[in-house]
Amino acid sequence: MTFFLGLILSSFAWANPDPPVHSNKWTNKYDRHFKKYSKRYFGPLFDWHWFKSQAIAESGLDPKAESHVGARGLMQIMPATFGDISDKIPHYMELDEPRWNIAAGIYYDRLLYRKFPKSTEQERMYLALASYNAGYGRVLKARKRVKNKHSWKDVKEHLPGQTRAYVYRIRKLMGDK
C-alpha cells in the first residue's frame, strides 16, 4: 500500500513540478532583462512572464545550465544559434552572460513567432515555443498533417511528447491551462 501511495504522490509531483512563475519560489534577479527584451521584441503590452516561464522550463533559471547537446544558459541556446544571432546583433557578445542569453532567447522567440502570422496571438505563442523546443522544421511538418494549420490543439498531436510537455509546462507556469 505504501508503495502505491508513493507512486501516486511521485506522479503528482511530476505533473505539477513547479509553482507558478508569479510565486516567491522563483528569483526576480533576471526580471529586468526579461522585461526589457520582451518589450523590445514583442512590444510593451506583451506579458514578459512567458519568457521567464520559458527560462524556468529550460534551465530552472540556472545561468550555468548546459544540456547534453550543448545548449547553454538560462534560455538553453545552442552556441551556433547564438552565433547567428550575434552576427545580426553584434553587441550580444557572450552566450554565458545571462543578459545576452535572455536577449538572444527572446529575439529567437520573436523570429519564430513571426512565422505564424495567421494564428491567433495565443496560438502563435504556443507554436513559437514548440518551434524553440523541437525546431521550426518539425513544427512545419506537423502543420502539414492537419487541416487547421493555425490551431495549436490540432498541430500538437503530431509533435513529440517532449515538445507537448514543454509547452504545457510553460502554460502551467503561466497559469494558462
Written as one string, the DSSP assignment of the chain is -HHHHHHHHHHHHHHS-S--TTSTTS--TTHHHHHHHHHHHH-TTS-THHHHHHHHHHHTT-TT-B-TT--BTTTTB-HHHHHHHHHHSTT---TTSHHHHHHHHHHHHHHHHTT-TTS-HHHHHHHHHHHHHH-HHHHHHHHHTSS-TT-HHHHGGGS-HHHHHHHHHHHHHTT--
Question: Among the options 58, 66, 121, 157, which is catalytic?
Answer: 58
121 catalytically annotated: no
- Which residues are part of the catalytic machinery? 58
